[in-house]
Amino acid sequence: DTGVSQNPRHKITKRGQNVTFRCDPISEHNRLYWYRQTLGQGPEFLTYFQNEAQLEKSRLLSDRFSAERPKGSFSTLEIQRTEQGDSAMYLCASSFFTSYEQYFGPGTRLTVT
Amino acid sequence: TQLLEQSPQFLSIQEGENLTVYCNSSSVFSSLQWYRQEPGEGPVLLVTVVTGGEVKKLKRLTFQFGDARKDSSLHITAAQPGDTGLYLCAGPDRGATNKLIFGTGTLLAVQP
């Protein structure tokens, strides 16, 4: 299967802990996006990479959030000092540079207790 | 700010019925995409419409892009329980990133 994969699928953590999520995009895709989705809403853009360069970050992404894409392959999203408001589904998507079409992974469901 | 509004928000119908979901904006989009999302999963791309007035068919699903490229509709004929899910329209932001702006979503439940 060459789709987008995300790990872990579910994460339960206590407030104040740090968490890290991983995304493996479709191998030929050079663009990688992170979105956040809360229950009953559409996904909201968080950040975007073209190859290894992080080119845009949403104002939703506070200083507690950091994302990397070393070597332009997989990406990680870290949340430090988690808060209950961080509870959401974190989605990763990838695409070709020239395409509007993004392909999503299954997401990581984060619950902060 | 580019916004996409979907209607209705919720739809509960019986198997075999037809339905239409709408996606509207005051902004022009270069393309619009429709996704279906099942609980606990990521959105799955159904179709991309690019040309104003374009109609695309995917089995029992018919997608239309408005002439002015500000709106789109999804029509499902003879709905089946397997069509149940959250339907999302999305369009690329005007900037260089092509980040997607998603609609508010339509939650469809098809009862057997």
Contact A100 B30 (CB under 8 A): yes
CB B82 within 8 A of CB B35: no
At B25-37, the pLDDT tens digits run 999 999 999 999 9
Mutate to test the interface with B, among A100, A104, A110 (most CBs of B within 10 A): A100
CA distance B38 to chain A (A): 10
Say what the pLDDT of residue B107 is: 96
Q: Report the pLDDT averaged over residues A41-55.
A: 93
User: Comparing A101 with A23, which gets the higher pLDDT?
Assistant: A23
Mark yes or no for CB contact A107/B42 under 8 Å.
Answer: yes
Structural tokens at position B57: 């068919």
Mean of pLDDT over chain B:
94
Contact across the interface for B105 and A105, Cβ inside 8 Å: no
d(CA A92, CA A9): 12
Residues of A in contact with B45 (CB under 8 A): 101-104
Task: Looking at A1-113, list the stretches that DSSP marks H as alpha helix, in order from N- to C-terminal side.
Answer: none
What the block records as the tokens of A29 is: 């895709």
